[in-house]
Amino acid sequence: MQGSICGVFLYPKTSLLNKRRRAAHWQTIIYTMKCPVCYFQDTKVVDSRVASDGFSIRRRRECLKCGFRFSTYEELEILELTVVKRDGRREPYSRDKMTRGLKRALEKRPITDETFKKLIHLIERDLQVLKKEEVTSDQIGASVMKQLKKVDKVAYIRYASVYQSFKDLTEFKKELNKLSNNKDKAKE
């Protein structure tokens, strides 16, 4: 095999015939990292470090043909997770979809990229701890709200108003009162 191995991933691939019995076949995928300049498939890792967010690995690579140096990042990815929507539809989990929702809630809020990445990893960790192939959108929403409440209260209220579909100002006030009561209890 030509090229340096960038990653080897083992993950279960459930066949449709055996889905009822929950049998899984293990599939191996090997990725090679090409040079972004000359597209040569042989690169070597010069340096590896845990990234500042603590949830990814930064690798410094060098092309063996042209000598160009570049960085790659390895991070956790949730595979084979299905989201069950409120209306019963099923769709694959999408980190991008959750990221867009969080960005809307955190718009114009003082949050760093590092904190944002940690928030996403904490939410995904909550989902992985469930150890299920299927999670409901309510479970994802509850995890997002739990973690968002710790990071930014204003963003939490923004997200809650959409996620919980506040119908009027009274429901909005109830959530604000819960938030302020929890804050008062924490001071005591």
pLDDT mean values, one per 10 residues, the chain (188 residues): 43 41 46 84 90 80 94 76 91 90 92 89 88 90 91 87 74 76 59
User: Quick check: pTM over 0.95?
Assistant: no
Backbone phi and psi for residue 46, each to the nearest 5 degrees, phi listed first: -90, -35
Distance CA 107, CA 101 (A): 10
Euclidean distance between CA atoms 117 and 88, whole angstroms: 30
Helix (H) or strand (E) holding 46: strand 43-50
CA distance 179 to 158: 13
Count CB-CB contacts under 10 A for residue 30: 11
Q: Which residues contact 106 (CB under 8 A, 6 or more apart)?
A: 116, 152, 155
pLDDT recorded at residue 78: 65
If we measure between CA atoms, which residue out of 159, 160, 172, 161 comes closest to residue 100? 159
Model pLDDT, residue 163: 72
Per-residue confidence (pLDDT) for residue 21, from 0 to 100: 40
CA atoms of 28 and 172, how far apart (whole Å): 49
Q: Percent helix, strand and coil across the chain, each rounded to 5?
A: 40, 25, 35
Query: Cα–Cα distance between 131 and 124 in angstroms, integer?
Result: 11
End-to-end CA distance of the chain: 64
